[in-house]
Structure 1
């Protein structure tokens, strides 16, 4: 499969922002994910909005202003204000009611529902994206199919997810997931006196880059109603994006893969 990297017109604009300094800044925010989620998700929200704006500028020829954006797995609404400030209509679907109210954010554009059966009309949003959610569902490619279904012809479906064999695949259990997800979860529970938020086999699953690229190949095969626009590492500096093209190596080096598909 031909993986589009910095040479892709859609990826090239965002690549200019994918500097080593940006990577360091985002990595430094990861430590606040549970202690200061507002700080962590605020930084991720701003970076996500910039990424989607760049991709949409290249593919559609204009910014995300005036577009309807659906966030699959939007949580409590940390991303809402960032997209509203850019003039986009932001909507989200979240399956967990406790997550929807976790931050005390007042946001009326969220609906409770499963990403694997989106309660959204077919071909109704300009951009459907999901950030760091696919690794938390048992059938992520069913979710990807649903995301593509609700996207309008000419619109973008953007799936960004954490790779299991990357350094953050174990989430709060650290790099112990390399010895097995169940082992990492039990170790975390012994050390901290509580279960990890992301429990292996229940809310955390071993997802790979190869599986995502395989889904993209099938979804954009000749005769399909979609085309692959780009696939690149979300948090890596642009000069390391070549790793996406190398089997096995990409599972360790990419950390988070972004798959961009345009619906025909």
Structure 2
């Protein structure tokens, strides 16, 4: 119901052409460096994110990102800034945790400290609101999603991408033990490594499922154009249609929407 029969129907034609098996293998291969070389991992994700947003926006408007305002909810330490700057967009990251802002030693001009669940921006402020791998780290991700809709201009683009709990990366550094429960995985990590995981279940990591995003897609005032598995090639997007398989195999769900024009 949310995935059009053809990519052109839902405004993802350009991105669908790039959603190849080669791209999938490249992105998934970068995951092994998340802890050992975060600059490499996040740099790869940032580059792909900027290209993905540019594709969606071009399909929506026929224009590039030049002179648009892109709000990145949960922008982290700044890896995405350079990639969006290359597109000509005005990039504004929002991050609630000061230590996360400075974790990579990068400096991003215009970074705003604030919560995704109460974005410090007026209504209809930005052309594009984007969030990558943040929803699983907040207590009320669907309040955050509605905040993203609120601050986006009518006709503007909203892209929410998040990691599914029952996917292989759902437990982050505590996986795959998260399949036995988030608290069990956190305790095991502490015993094994002598310290708490960065992503502590129940505090900074929560069990968010595909069904949650699909439910939000049916209740939000925004026009949801498509949902798809971020790291899969186009020919595997059908997995989102199958209830049990999507929780286990989709890994990261992307919801693409536009704000209704009143």
**1:231–1:257 Cα contact (<8 Å) kept:** yes
Describe the superposition over 1:61-85 as per-residue Cα deviations: whole angstroms up to 9, x where unpaired. 1121211000000011111111111
Name 1:58's counterpart in structure 2.
59
- Seen in structure 2, the aligned counterparts of structure 1 residues 156 and 187 have a Cα distance that, compared at 3 Å, is same
The structure 1 segments of at least 4 consecutive aligned residues displaced by more than 4 Å after TM superposition are none
Name 2:90's counterpart in structure 1.
89
- Seen in structure 2, the aligned counterparts of structure 1 residues 6 and 65 have a Cα distance that, compared at 3 Å, is farther
Alignment of structure 1 residues 142-221 onto 2, 5 Å: 142-219=143-220
Task: State the alpha-carbon separation in 2 of the partners of residues 31 and 233 from structure 1.
Answer: 19
Alignment RMSD (CA, Å): 1.0
Name 2:102's counterpart in structure 1.
101
Give, in angstroms, the shift of residue 6 of structure 1: 6.5
**2:7–2:16 Cα contact (<8 Å) kept:** no
Pair 1:239-2:206 in alignment: no
TM-score by length of 1: 0.95
Task: State the alpha-carbon separation in 2 of the partners of residues 88 and 38 from structure 1.
Answer: 22
Runs of 5+ unmatched residues, structure 2 = none
Runs of 5+ unmatched residues, structure 1 = none
Task: State the alpha-carbon separation in 2 of the partners of residues 36 and 5 from structure 1.
Answer: 38
- Seen in structure 2, the aligned counterparts of structure 1 residues 90 and 76 have a Cα distance that, compared at 3 Å, is same
Aligned length: 258
- Seen in structure 2, the aligned counterparts of structure 1 residues 66 and 37 have a Cα distance that, compared at 3 Å, is same
Task: State the alpha-carbon separation in 1 of the partners of residues 75 and 14 from structure 2.
Answer: 25
Task: State the alpha-carbon separation in 1 of the partners of residues 4 and 175 from structure 2.
Answer: 29
